[in-house]
Every structure is written in structure tokens, then in C-alpha cells.
Structure 1
Amino acid sequence: MQPQPEPLPSLLARLDEAALYHRAEDRGFFTLLWAEPDATSGHRPPALKIQRAYRLDVLPQIIAALDPERDTWISQAEFHKPNRRIVHLLRLGLCFVDLDTYKTPHGESRPETLLGRFLGHCGDEDVPLPSLVIYSGRGLQAKWLLERPLPRAALPRWNAVQKELVARLAPFGADPGARDASRVLRLVDTVNTRSGERVRVLWVQRHAEDVRRYPFEWLAETLLPVSREAFQLKRQPPTAPRTPLQVIPGGKTGNLRVFSGRQLAWDRLEDLRKLAQRRGWTEHGIPHGYRSKYVHWCLNFLLLSGAIPANQLYLEAQALVREVCPDFDKDVRSVLSTLYRKAKAYEAGERIEFNGRTYPPLYTPPQSHPARPIRRARR
């Protein structure tokens, strides 16, 4: 039997909803984006949008002070610097899908009718029911809260789950361009001036007197086409003899990650940034002669990880460059031009064939020398 929506009086207020994935007691930053109310009506130019980042510990005061009569969006992830760039990602407390239902045959339905159809579709597609569903004024937002926030290291696997959710919910207008970790979604109890409707929670899935939360690994195993174990077996040559399982006593064996190209690219990016920190480049700046190479490989691995689309490359590059060389802005464009062309080809599905094997258009260094980007600078 399909779970029934909760009655309207039990809906979550904007602070209650935001506090489900942003804890004021944690360190880090969240971002708000809002439109100035004097530029959102009639035939005036597009609204002026203002973006601000705030510490998590001031979340209650900031949310309470917002003007509910203007369009307002809030970041879903948290960041360790006051912006919402992927290179500054700190943690992720949920999975989500932005559903542009007004672009589908369901668009004329009332929100409550739309909700019932959406929950039924989740059951048909073996998608776990979301923790909550929000009416955004024209469409829906579906959110799956996590039992524990994910660290930045898990971003490639989180992206894979996001991609699968968008694919399965495509008949309800799931937006493939709104599934990244830097995404902002409309905040509950604020107005959507395009429709004049108030953003509100339509449905909450309760579990043990609280909003339902999911273990991320369970979500991943349920949604992704192959499990970690099956993926590892698939990578073995068909003719290779199976090695008998052996029990190795002692030691921690949990939290092991499957090898994947995207995870490897993300880990390489993290290694380069740790190298910059240990050499003091984040404090004193990167030496001349190493700047272009460092930025090139960092951005190349960022793109290979699938964490950002090509159209976000310049903004991510700006955030990355500020870590090691604030005066490097002019030269960044020369590094970006080639990478941007290759990133667009990568997104379009183009591949390069060499010696009987296919490779993405982006740079893929051999495993023995992951990037060869930086040698120790002579003093």
C-alpha cells in the first residue's frame, strides 16, 4: 500500500527543513541566493541575484531574518570556505532531485495529485521513497536524507547515485543539470515569483518519530546498476582463475572503496592539493614555473572525476587558483581554453582510440606516473 501524505498542519517550516541537512553545531559554511524583490515582476529586466555564504552556527538567525516574499535558494551541501565551489566541498547530508514537472504531461496536476503519481512511480522504478517531497511553486524537490553526512572523498560515488536518480525519475522532469553538489534549491516558506506559489513541504516519510534517513551505502547498492562486489568481479579477466577467499584476522575492513576511473581522478586531485599544502604553497604561493602545470592537472582531474560540468570550469578554476596563487588570474585563461574544449568533447561522449583502446578526450596519465605535474622546487 502506498504511504499516505501527512496532513497539511504537520508540514516543516523553513528552518526545520534546512536543519535536516545543515546542523548549526557543525563547522563549515552554507550559501543563500536570493533575488531582489523590486526586479522580479512585470516586464522588468531579470532579477538581480545576490549570493552570500554564512557559517553554519548562525543558520537559525539567518533563516529567521529572511524575507519570505522574495525568491530564495539554499545550498544543499556544506563547504569549508565561504563559497559553494566543488573544490571547497566539505560534506553532503542528502541526495536530491529537482523535478521540473511543469515540463511533463503531469504539469497541469495539483501538487497533491502530482505527489501521489510521483510516489507511485518511485515504487514502479524501485526507487526508495524520499525522506521528504517539496513543492517548489512549479515542480517538486525530492530529498533522501542520509544517516551520516558524506565526506568530500565520497563525491564520485555520490555523483553516481545522483545520476541514477535523475535517470529513473526522468518521466517527472528530473533536471540532469541540477544534480551537482554545488546546487542551490528553493527554500521552504519562500515565494516562487514565477508562479506566485509558496514553496512548501508536501510529504514527509516518518521513521521512529523522526524523518526517515538512509544509510548512503544502502542507497548506492539499491540504485546503482552493479554492486561493489559485482563490479570488482567484472574487472577480473574472464579466464583468470578465481583465488579462494582467505580470512585475514584483525584490522579494519570496512569503508573499502571500489576502484573506478572517476574516484581515481578525484583522489589524484586531492593528492595534488595536499602536496601544495605540505610545501607551503597555500601560505606563500606556488613558485613561478609550476603554476600552469599545477592548475592544469588539478582541473583536468576535477573534470575527469565528473564532479562538475564544463560550464562551471572557470568558476572552479578561480576558487582553486586563489588557494595557491591569487595573482594568477590572467594566465588561467590560457590553461582553461584547451581544457574547456576537451571537457565539452568529454561531455558529448567523444572518445579517442589509440593502440586498440579508447580514452576520453581529457588527459589520462598512466598509473605509474599519475600526473607528473610537480617536482620539488629548488630553493
Structure 2
Amino acid sequence: MGAILKKDIYTDPSENRILPYNGQAFFTLNRINNGHMTQKAYRLDQLEFVLSHIANDRDTYMAQGFFSRPCRRALFIETMTHAYVDIDCYKTEFFPDWMTKQQKVQSILSYCDDNLIPVPSAIISSGRGIYLKWYWASPIPREAVGRAVALNKQLVSLFAPLGADPACVDVSRILRVVGTLNSKNNQPVELLHQTDRDGHAITYVFDDFADEVLPYSLEQIREWREAQKERYEAKGQVIHLAREKARERLKAGNRKAFNRFDWCWRVVEDIRIIADKKYGGVIPYCEESGHVAGPDIYAHIGASMLGNIIPSQQLWPEIKTWAGLILPASYVNDKRNLLAHSSTLLKKAKQVANMTEEERKRNEEAGLHRKGAYRYKTQTIIDRLGITSDDMRNFNLKVLIDKDEKRRRDRENTMHKRREAGVMERVEWLNASDNKISQALEAWPNEKKLTQQTLADATGLSVRTIRAHWKKSIP
């Protein structure tokens, strides 16, 4: 997942992270005035000027992602530049009170080394706590939001003994700006450590970093599947050919390991594509369109997917923003509709937010039985939304596709690779074989015995191909 535009990317003047070239993207600054949080959006090409003119004696926060609109909603995220963890040092015994900031930095670096965690690109004091940031070698696009959230969650889990804030995982998160003041203890927000490589802050390739940090790497999944195969063979059971081929594709690197957050985000994206390309931007009521699915079911499924990605305190505003993009205004503004269909989901999300860290970990391990949000299978969503095979193909949906469409795409990919490798189409190959046989027959010596086997040896074709040619040539 590369940069939006790879040319002319440049660095953040305050943190040395690599930024996208699209100067029309937005970021936000949030300030506390008289006890109230205010927010203002700026364009990316204003970043250096804005950061150089911030008052350094006040609380100031900045969005950690860049947005397509002047609105700090996850649904409008355009690109992301780094992963992050917010460590509340004062809430854990890992950092004794006598430790200086630099001693805390060394403890964090040692912790990373002991636990085989990639070292942060930057370690920043937030005044009371510490931010850890890992910069990407090139900014990642909105399609990677689900995996980015999963990655932040995993980093929070890895740094839980150090006091990592479990809420600091969403892509619309704001963190304090380097060079400003934390008014809670009158301490500055400052860069404590930067891990350098060739004179610049170290950067990571997003996909490689995710494969290394996420709990189940592709290599682990391969090992588990090999072990499963051995168990099957020990029992004398037959492994289906389709599964074998799927494993081979995974080994070849053509498929990524399944990630729930990534899948949920891609469902949200597919729904937006359907609304745009099938309905002209707004999902109509069933009685108007005659379709099986109307705003009610779209609202419920979309909100359920967002419930897996967005923190509970931000979930309702994000749902309402998302609904306003694809559902009729009359539906969104009527509390009997959108809010009614989201009330149980919001209640579930609040229950998860109130869990302890141990309860949250057990809940994640519970799989399909975990609490917090509705779970749907892909085929269930396809059936309820009335998505057709033509929709899957014409709109190029990413995850809302059935097994038949997956097989069709696999066939196309295989055919494309065969063509790139120089393999001919069957019609061309048959014509070439016929020509080769005809030329061999014309030049065949009279004294040499002509059989199917001798002709096959002379042409390099199989006996079966020779036999088929003879049958075709006999009147």
C-alpha cells in the first residue's frame, strides 16, 4: 500500500515524518480556550507556516491523519503517515517517580529490544505522558485504514505493561504538538528521542511492519495450515484441491492474512461504492426503487461495521456522518430511523469501552462470541443487500463478492500471468500444433515408418495430441 503520490514527498518540519505530496489534503489543530476545545482545519501546504506560528504557551493538539474534507472524521481520512501509542507513564509502576525523561526513553528502547518490537521512529514527551511514533516510508491511503487500526491496537497491547492508552488507536486521533505546553503540569511537549538512519528518522514499510507486529503473521498461518494438513493426512482424509491451491497462493504471497478491522473497513468502502455507482450517491427507499434493501438495512450493516473500527465515544458522530453520505436526508434526520437502528450497537460499544484490559483481551480471544458489535458473514451481507454478480463485477467490489466471483477473478489473474509468461491461448496452441504436425508429415522420409508414437517423438507433442489431429483430419 504505497503513497498516494510518490513523487516529491517531503518531511514534517517538527517531527521529520514523511508527508503526502497532495497539498490540498486537510489537517486539524485543536486548542483549549476557556475550558472548551476548538478545532480549525488547514490545508497540508500550510503545515510549515501553521506549525511555526503556534503559540507555545497553550494546549494545542493536531490530527494524526490527513483528510479529504475539512472535517476530522475517520470516513474522510485520505492518508496516514505513522502508527502511534500514547503511554500514560503516571498510571503504571513500570516508570518509578524518580525516573528522568531520558531514563524513561532508555527503558522504552530496552523494552522494545527485549520484546523484539521495532524501535519507534520518535519518542515524544506529552508533558505528562509519552508518545511513541513509527513513521511510514511512504504515506498509506484510506484503503489501509482497517489494517492501520488493527496495527495500533496491537501496539497498544504490546505496550500495555508500560501504561499504553487503549483508546488511542483510531485514525482521527489528536495528539499534542511538539513545542507547545501541557497546562496540566506546565511541562513542554518535546521530542525526546529520534531513531536515525542515514541522518534521517528511521521509516518502515507499512505492510512489512504490519506483518511483523500483528499477532498472526503470514508465516505463522502457513505453519498452522501445514500442521493441519499433516493431521488430515494422518487420519487418511483427502485434502480438497481448492484448499491446496489456496495454500499455494498464500505461500506465493498473493493473499494477505485475514484481518477483521481491515475487512470491516472494506465493507464500509464497498457500500459507499454501491451507493455511488448503483444508486447515484443516495440509497433509495425500497418502495421507490423496488430493491430488496433500503436505508434501514444499509444503516444497520454499515453502523455494525463501523462499530468494529471506531471507538465508542466517537461512534455515533461517525455513524451519522457516514449515513449522511449515502442515505436520504429525511431518513438520517428522523430519530426513529438511524438512531433507532443504532441504539443497541451503541450500547454494546459502551459496554466494551467500560471493560478492564483483562476483560478486553478475553473478549478479543472469544472470536465470533465476543461482545461489542454485530458480526455478519460476507454472504449474509450480500444476500441482505441484494448484491448481484453484475454488481460485484461492474463495480469492482473488494470484499462483498461471492465464491463464484472469487473464482472468476482467480481465473482471470491466472490467465493474465500465463500470458505474461508467454503461454499461448488454447486456440493458438492448437493451430501451432496442427502446423507443426503438417510440416512434419510433409518432410517425412518415405523409408521411415509412420506411427503416432514416431510422429510424437519427431514433433515433441504428446501421442494424445497426435491422435486428436489424426481423428480431425480423417474425413
TM-score, normalized by the shorter chain, greater than 0.5: yes
Tell me, yes or no, if the aligned pair for 1:268 and 1:301 is still in contact at 8 Å.
Answer: yes
Residue equivalent to 1:299: 303
Residue equivalent to 1:340: 346
Distance 1:200 1:320 in 2: 36
Tell me, yes or no, if the aligned pair for 2:146 and 2:266 is still in contact at 8 Å.
Answer: no
Equivalent positions of 1:1-379 (< 5 A) are 16-17=13-14, 20-23=17-20, 25-36=22-33, 39=34, 47-105=35-93, 106=95, 108=97, 109-231=99-221, 234=224, 238-239=231-232, 241=239, 243=244, 256-282=255-281, 285-289=282-286, 290-303=294-307, 306-324=308-326, 325-327=328-330, 328-330=332-334, 331-344=337-350, 358=369, 362-375=373-386
Greater helix fraction, Structure 1 or Structure 2: 2
Identical pairs, percent? 29
Displacement, 1:360? 5.7
Displacement, 1:81? 2.0
Distance 2:24 2:254 in 1: 23
- What is the SS of the residue equivalent to 2:39? strand
Going from structure 1 to structure 2, the CA distance change for 1:140 and 1:342 (only over 3 Å counts) comes to closer
Displacement, 1:15? 5.7
Gaps of 5+ in 1: 1-13, 40-46, 352-356
Displacement, 1:64? 2.6
Displacement, 1:175? 0.7
- What is the SS of the residue equivalent to 2:13? helix
Give the residue type in structure 2 aligned to 1:333: L
Give the residue type in structure 2 aligned to 1:259: F
- What is the SS of the residue equivalent to 1:316? helix
Displacement, 1:104? 2.2
Displacement, 1:246? 10
Distance 2:41 2:381 in 1: 35
Going from structure 1 to structure 2, the CA distance change for 1:74 and 1:107 (only over 3 Å counts) comes to farther
Give the residue type in structure 2 aligned to 1:152: R
Distance 2:29 2:172 in 1: 12
Displacement, 1:276? 0.8
Deviations 1:57-104 (A, max 9, x none): 222222233222110111111222222222222222111111111222
Going from structure 1 to structure 2, the CA distance change for 1:163 and 1:363 (only over 3 Å counts) comes to closer
Q: How many residues align?
A: 341
Gaps of 5+ in 2: 1-10, 233-237, 287-293, 388-475
Distance 2:259 2:247 in 1: 24
Bigger Cα Rg: 2
Distance 1:198 1:373 in 2: 53
Between stretches 89-98 and 101-110, larger displacement belongs to: 101-110
Going from structure 1 to structure 2, the CA distance change for 1:112 and 1:373 (only over 3 Å counts) comes to same
Displacement, 1:21? 4.6
Give the residue type in structure 2 aligned to 1:224: L
Going from structure 1 to structure 2, the CA distance change for 1:213 and 1:293 (only over 3 Å counts) comes to same
Distance 1:224 1:322 in 2: 33
Distance 1:318 1:246 in 2: 41
Between stretches 22-31 and 90-99, larger displacement belongs to: 22-31
Distance 2:61 2:21 in 1: 18
Distance 2:88 2:183 in 1: 16
- Runs of 4+ in structure 1 displaced over 6 angstroms? 244-248
Going from structure 1 to structure 2, the CA distance change for 1:255 and 1:214 (only over 3 Å counts) comes to farther
Tell me, yes or no, if the aligned pair for 1:321 and 1:329 is still in contact at 8 Å.
Answer: no
C-alpha RMSD of the superposition? 2.9
Residue equivalent to 2:405: none
- What is the SS of the residue equivalent to 1:34? strand
Distance 1:361 1:192 in 2: 34
Displacement, 1:16? 1.4
Going from structure 1 to structure 2, the CA distance change for 1:308 and 1:107 (only over 3 Å counts) comes to farther
Give the residue type in structure 2 aligned to 1:365: Y
- What is the SS of the residue equivalent to 1:128? coil
Residue equivalent to 2:436: none
Deviations 1:243-283 (A, max 9, x none): 489989xxxx767422344333222221111011113543x
Give the residue type in structure 2 aligned to 1:341: K
